[in-house]
Structure 1
Amino acid sequence: MTTGRLLALQHADTAFPSGAFAFSNGVEGLAALASGLDAPSLRHAAEAVVRYRWAGSERVALAHAHRAGDDLAVLARIDAALEAATPAEPMRLGSRRNGGALLAAHLRLGTPGAGPLRAAISDGRLLGHLSVVQGALWRALGLEEAACLEIAGYQTVAGLVAAAVRLGRIGAIEAQAIVAALLPVVAECAAAPIPDTPDFTAFAPLIEIAAMRHARAELRLFAN
Structure 2
Amino acid sequence: MLSTLRAIWQTDGAFPNGSFAFSYGIEGAIALRRDMSLRDFEALIEAMLKQRWAGYDRVAMLLSYRAHGDLAAIAMVDREVEASTLIEALRTGSRRNGASYLAAHARLGEPLAVALRDAVKAGDCCGHIAVMQGAVWSALGLGEPLSQLCSGYVAASGVITAAVRLGIVGALQGQGVLQRCLPLIEQLTAQDTADEVELMSFIPFLDIAAARHARADLRLFAN
TM-score after normalising by structure 2: 0.97
Alignment match, 2:159:
160
Question: Contact (CA 8 Å) 1:30, 1:37: kept in 2 or not?
Answer: no
Whole-Å Cα distance in 2 between the matches of residues 140 and 174 of structure 1?
35
Paired residue for 1:93?
A: 92
Question: 2:37 maps to which residue?
Answer: 38
Q: Classify 1:160/1:166 alpha carbon distance in 2 versus 1 (closer, same or farther; 3 Å).
A: same
What's 1:181 paired with?
180
Task: Output the aligned Cα RMSD.
Answer: 1.1
| Mapped partners of 2:146, 2:158: distance in 1 | 18
Task: Say if 1:198 and 1:127 are closer, same or farther in 2 by CA, change over 3 A.
Answer: farther
2:108 is the alignment partner of 1:105: no
1:194 matched residue in structure 2? 193
1:21 maps onto 2:17 in alignment: no
Correspondence for 2:203: 204
Match of 2:140 in 1: 141
| Unpaired stretches in structure 1, ≥5 consecutive residues | none
Alignment correspondent of 1:115: 114
**Residue correspondences, number:** 223
Aligned partner of 1:77 in structure 2 is 76
- Structure 2 gap segments, 5+ residues each: none
Shift of 1:88: 1.5
In the other structure, the counterpart of 1:124 is: 123
SS at match of 1:7: helix
Which has the larger displacement, 37-46 or 132-141? Answer: 37-46
Give the deviation of 1:35 after TM superposition: 3.9
- Runs of 4+ aligned residues of structure 1 deviating over 6 Å after TM superposition are none
CA contact (8 A) 1:112 1:141 kept: no
Q: Could you tell me how far 1:55 is from its partner in structure 2?
A: 0.6
Identity of aligned residues (%): 45
- Render the CA deviation track for 1:154-201: whole Å, top value 9, x for unaligned: 111101111110001110111011001111111111121113214111
Comparing 191-200 and 40-49, the one that deviates more: 191-200
